[in-house]
Amino acid sequence: MRVTILGAGPAGLYAAILLKRVNPRAQVSVFEQNPHDATFGFGVVFSDQALEFLRADDPETVELVTPHMQRWSDIVVNHRGTSIAIDGIGFAGIGRLELLELLQQRARALGANLHYGHRMDHIPEGDLVIAADGLNSLVRSTAPERFGEEITHLQNRFVWYGADREYDALTQSFIDTPHGPMNAHHYSYAPGRSTFIIEMGPQTFSRSGFGEMSEPTYRAACETLFAEHLDGASLIPNNSVWRQFPNLSCARWHDGNRVLVGDALHTAHFSIGSGTRLALEDVQALVAALREADWNVEVALPAYQAARAPVLAKITGAARASADWYERFGDHMALEPWPFALSYIRRAGRLSAERLAALAPDFTTQLRIQGVGL
């Protein structure tokens, strides 16, 4: 069986790994337009639950990656000078480039062929073509109507930076500025390094004038506005342009022998930190369907969508609820710090009072002390 994978991000590399692991005789080739040591973004975050899910199918890859991860057990919300820890929610972060290098190592060891710097103007041949080539997927864009593509954009603007310091937890810092409310999502991914995403609504963005500034100018302005939370650290750019988050969904996940995974198929707002996890779980579901169908692509691809779609819908639904909360985070900031933290942690609509109390007992105890009802 000849398998062609477009895109050597986490999803594409993990597809190569799983395919070679369960079907060593398969000829697996991965094509990536960028060099092997280039990436956009900084850190990748996994929940503890996501890591255990990966361990069930591929313990070797999990054991390869986990020693390189930064771990923390709390989320911290900063609002109106109050810092509130929400316990019981474990995460681990790793640099995106370091993750890719580890997955490259594993894929090559299993016999996958990796091709970098390969600018694609057509889709290579294969018995199966896996599109792991992201939001701007060549496979999907050649026939968007056949995949039932739908793309809309959120109103908020955000910019992705790194920072040359560490944080003790996944942290959300909400600030009032002369331009309006702003937010930073920040978390460590390596010693002395963190991801630092800055977000704001369209009115704040317009008043700030960031859209008319050069990148070094608005970076300096952001460093001043978030000086308290950077605490002397500098922001590190990497293609750090202002964006609006794209909501992508596809009604049909496959067309002939071509199939979509990860950001080529769907997006999930960065506020729930599940984009990479979802992509890897897509790959797990696809490989499981191929195995179950005895590598019959015509049978496996519809089975992949049928099995995976209901699970994915729950998570992407939560991601969109979280994104909706962020679209109005300035309004939520009218709340006092403790009610605000409760609104934040329940933004995705998946935490009942009972589940929150079981998950974060210290936080819920403090809520009661503060007179905030669940």
306 and 190 both lie in a single domain: no
Q: Which amino acid is at 62?
A: V
Instruction: Tell whether 75 is covered by a domain.
Output: no
**Interatomic CA distance for residues 374 and 162, integer angstroms:** 35
pLDDT of residue 36: 85
Q: What is the mean pLDDT of residues 263-269?
A: 96
pLDDT of residue 40: 75
262 and 358 both lie in a single domain: no
124 and 217 both lie in a single domain: no
Q: Is the pLDDT of residue 307 over 90?
A: yes
**To 10 degrees, the CA torsion angle through 196, 282, 13, 152?**
-50
Instruction: Tell whether 84 is covered by a domain.
Output: no
Number of structural domains found in the chain: 3
**Interatomic CA distance for residues 118 and 108, integer angstroms:** 17
122 and 219 both lie in a single domain: no
- The pTM (predicted TM-score) of the whole model is 0.94
Instruction: Tell whether 344 is covered by a domain.
Output: yes
Q: How much is the mean pLDDT over the chain?
A: 94
Listed in order, strand segments (DSSP E) in the chain are: 2-6, 27-31, 43-47, 70-72, 75-79, 82-86, 91-95, 113-115, 128-131, 149-153, 157-163, 170-177, 180-190, 193-200, 235-236, 246-250, 254-255, 258-260
Last residue of a domain, one of 201, 236, 271: 236
Largest CA distance in the chain: 63
Residue pair 4/32 in contact by the 8 Å Cβ criterion? no
Q: Is the backbone of residue 106 left (phi > 0), alpha (psi -120 to 50) or beta?
A: alpha
Q: What is the pLDDT of residues 56-77, one digit of tens each?
A: 778 898 899 989 888 888 999 9
7 and 54 both lie in a single domain: yes
Q: Is the pLDDT of residue 113 over 90?
A: yes
- Which are the contacts of 67, defined by CB distance < 8 A and separation ≥ 6? none
Residue pair 229/78 in contact by the 8 Å Cβ criterion? yes
143 and 12 both lie in a single domain: yes
Q: Is the pLDDT of residue 48 over 90?
A: no
What CATH number is associated with residue 230?
A: 3.30.9.20
Confidence category of residue 124, pLDDT binned at 50, 70, 90: confident
Last residue of a domain, one of 326, 345, 360: 326
113 and 129 both lie in a single domain: yes
Confidence category of residue 37, pLDDT binned at 50, 70, 90: confident
Instruction: Tell whether 188 is covered by a domain.
Output: yes
36 and 136 both lie in a single domain: yes
200 and 138 both lie in a single domain: no
Question: Of residues 351 and 159, which shows the higher confidence score?
Answer: 159
> Could you list the residue range(s) of the whole structural domain that residue 351 is in?
336-369
What CATH number is associated with residue 17?
A: 3.50.50.60
Burial 2-27 (b: 16+ CB within 10 A, else e): ebbbbbbbbbbbbbbbbbbbebeebb
Q: Is the pLDDT of residue 53 over 80?
A: no
Q: Is the pLDDT of residue 50 over 90?
A: no
Helix (H, G, I), strand (E, B) or coil at 166: coil
Provide the 8-state DSSP code for 24.
T
Last residue of a domain, one of 236, 255, 272: 236
Instruction: Tell whether 147 is covered by a domain.
Output: yes
Q: Is the pLDDT of residue 42 over 90?
A: no
Helix (H, G, I), strand (E, B) or coil at 251: coil
Helix (H, G, I), strand (E, B) or coil at 82: strand
pLDDT of residue 330: 97
pLDDT of residue 45: 85
